[in-house]
Structure 1
Amino acid sequence: MPIELPRLSSNAPIFVRLLPRLAPIVEAALAAGVAAVPEGAAMPANHFADVVPLSMEYAALFLQRIDDGKSLTREDLSKLEVLVTSFAEDRVPLRSLTDGYLGGLQVFWQMIMEEAEPSDIGDLAALGAHLIATIGMLTTTITDAYVDVQQSIFGLERESRRVLCAALLRGEPAVDLAARAGAAIAERYDVISILAGAGLPPTENADAIVKRRWARWAQHALEDIAGASVLNTFDGSSGVALLPAAVDGRERAMRDLATSLAGRFGVNVYVVERLSVPTAQLPDAARECAEVVELARVLGRPTGLHRLEDLLLEYQMTRPGPARDMLARQLEPVLDQPHLMEALDVLMRHGLDRKTAAAELHIHPNTFTYRLHRITELTGIDPSDAHGSRLLAAALTVHRAYPSQRS
């Protein structure tokens, strides 16, 4: 419900004194607004030519509305929306626009107060109430107009870059897409695969909102690393980014990327990179990175940067084929006995040290040994034997990666 604004007194003296001084007050406010914008001093003299007459018009309209006992409406500000749209299309930051008009309004109000006399206190309070209401209307009008441009033009630009990235990752012709996106295709790229662990909200709407935010955070982080716009398909859950290959590599930056995103997301984040990949080899590199990053997740690896060389054995064991299927079948006799699966897992993690494994499970070493005997009886493989332990460790790796893998 809108708040009823106070009216000035009839023929308010401050009003009478302000009208003849309106032009110099507006000029001073405009100068202050430009000065409040960091980029303002570097702009050519005619850059704000459209702002001068519009500011004068709105200042007069502001006072007229007060005299009529009304406030500015959204319809009154239609010309401002057009002006803000042009600034947004010129990529003037929203912060600069808000700094400018707030800096100008501050001087506008200061000069009004300088015109005031002690007897104007009531009318000055009424003017202040109207000015606050106007600031609110200006803020929503400017923000809405700017966001509309971002969602249309900038949104199309981001989407065109995503489409370009996807085409490169599929090995499709991309010259026309690059021209549409305003991007140059590099000869080599660092391929970065990102995977966010579980932990999204349970509702579909919340899930979509969070994913968009995560995707935006990741895009900003990648652009900070690259120092430029980045081709990227990360959707808040998984995806691949292409950064023009760096001469010195980005290992530290990639480790920090995983850690910082995990801190913001509140879930584990896995990052895999392949460095300096020729553009023609991007599809194979991207597939490999996606497989490795998913393997890091299913194996319970921590947040961080992972590479194929860190998971060579696990990667090879989990490649599709008859050997992987046979490995998975070795554990079928004990899959429905959690205490035996737990004993086997703990034994492997502690390098076949039965005493340490039993202590972790808080059971007697003899009880732990009995469980190992049961594993041997059911699977036909002795976990305490060198060959048997390697075979069962491999089977466990396949089971973690593909828990439903059964004959």
Structure 2
Amino acid sequence: MLYPTPRLTIDAPIVARLLPRISDLTVTLMTAAVGSFPGLDAAPEGHFTDFVMPMVVESVLAAQRSVEAGRDLTDEEIAQTIVPLTEYYTEQRVPLRALISGGFVVIAAALEEAFGSARPEDMADVLALNRFMLDYVGRAMVILFEAHPDIERSVYRIERHARRALCAALVSGAPFAALAVQADMMVPERFDLIALHVAATAVTDPKFANNLSRRRVELVQLELDQIAGTTALHTFDGRAGVALLPFDEQPPDPVHLQRLAVNLTTHLGEPVIMIDYGSVTRDDLPSASTQALEFAQLAAGLGRPAGLYGTDDLLLEYQLVRPGRVRDRLAARIRPLLSQKHLLEALEAHVRHGWDRQRAAEEIHLHPNSLTYRLRRIAEITGLNPLHPHESRMLAAALIIHRLYPASAALDERPA
């Protein structure tokens, strides 16, 4: 017992007054069960009756049998209704928080029905009924919490696999109609496109790499579901991928997307770069997805901190690193510096601090005059003067290319 109170008996007046009203009580509890979950009360009449009503009736009858036997309900008796109801409502996309809240709504409705007819002389029976219900709800919540993760994985596994396959088809331009049916989705004409990239900061033991990737995919899916529910699609494989959110007239809230990047960085244990590419038509998804992933990889390669970025934040760098002979020739301008690390270090500090010689010198522990001397040496060696605005920008561009594509800077510079 939870506390010393009389045990409820079948002939207690409060119970005797309830028994003739069992049918009405089950309808009341069923209405509370359905109405407590947002959106389900708008379903067609009778939509939930065939499944939920028998469960409610069985719960009431099990409670009656246990009272007649002078005992509490067993875990098995509670699970006979709690587990099927959890499965059913999970299939209806009712989240765990709403499921728990709805359970308490039903218990409150049952107590209200019972206590509504109580009289002063029924106080001992009221306490006994209250103890019985508290014992029931406490163990029912434990059963719910233990069962829900497995139920959710089972219910969503096939659908989530179909949604990933659908997303892969959309971003590759492959046929998707059959996959949309499997995913139980109407594919919209436009999507809001997001690219995800995890910047690797640690070496993963190959024995655990697959498990880690699967866990990361699950975490990304759960976080995306918080934003767009089961309409969110993604191709994330544990390291990179795109996410498609059904287009709305209002773009995704940047605050929510930034929070998503923070949450993923926390959960995945490594910096997560997100690119908000904006709205894209279904036909443009293949090319846009490729470009969005390139932006994400670029941000990671440049050492940008974890977080959310727009394409405008990386336009210059993206254009600079487009493949081609011009890119390679520009990177080659700093090739003579690669063997003189002190000069390369001075140039990087100079570029980072944008002409602030004092801060640049402090960073690499030099006197400003010594930094100026090194910058002049760079001008002599490369033919580009870091102290000249235009030539300094060319050197900065060459550094970006070298950082992302070191091989380019090693190419011989030959006349065009």
Distance 1:328 1:163 in 2: 40
Q: How far does the alpha carbon of each residue in 1:37-88 deviate from its partner, in whole angstroms, 9 at most, with x for none? A: 2557545664436545543443343354354445322256325533543444
1:273 and 2:273 matched: no
Displacement of 1:373 in angstroms is 3.8
Paired residue for 1:216, among 212, 222, 225?
222
Paired residue for 1:165, among 164, 167, 176?
167
Contact 2:275 2:295 in 1 (8 A): no
Contact 1:5 1:69 in 2 (8 A): no
- 1:317 aligns with 320
SS of the equivalent of 2:275 reads strand
- 1:305 aligns with 309
Contact 1:324 1:398 in 2 (8 A): yes
- Number of residue pairs the alignment of both structures matches: 394
- 1:261 aligns with 260
Report percent identity of matched pairs.
32
Q: How far does the alpha carbon of each residue in 1:154-196 deviate from its partner, in whole angstroms, 9 at most, with x for none? A: 3322221221111121222222222322334445545432335
Distance 1:30 1:201 in 2: 58
Distance 1:220 1:25 in 2: 39
Deviates more, 1:316-325 or 1:338-347: 316-325
Contact 1:213 1:236 in 2 (8 A): no
Distance 1:131 1:167 in 2: 51
Paired residue for 1:242, among 228, 244, 269?
244
- 1:368 aligns with 371
- 1:178 aligns with 180
1:22 and 2:16 matched: no
Q: In the alignment, residue 298 of structure 1 is paired with which amino acid?
A: G
1:78 and 2:74 matched: no
Q: In the alignment, residue 48 of structure 1 is paired with which amino acid?
A: T
* Structure 2 CA distance for partners of 1:350 and 1:69, relative to 1, 3 Å: closer
Paired residue for 1:288, among 252, 274, 291?
291
Distance 2:133 2:104 in 1: 11
* Structure 2 CA distance for partners of 1:201 and 1:264, relative to 1, 3 Å: farther
Unaligned runs of 5+ in 1: none
Distance 1:304 1:265 in 2: 11
Unaligned runs of 5+ in 2: 266-270, 411-416
Displacement of 1:347 in angstroms is 1.9
Contact 2:26 2:57 in 1 (8 A): no
Deviates more, 1:68-77 or 1:362-371: 68-77
Contact 2:14 2:118 in 1 (8 A): yes
Distance 1:364 1:85 in 2: 70
After superposition, residues 40-119 of structure 1 pair within 5 angstroms as: 42=42, 46=46, 47-48=48-49, 51-52=52-53, 54-65=55-66, 67-74=69-76, 77-91=79-93, 97-110=99-112, 112=114, 115=118
- 1:341 aligns with 344
Displacement of 1:335 in angstroms is 4.3
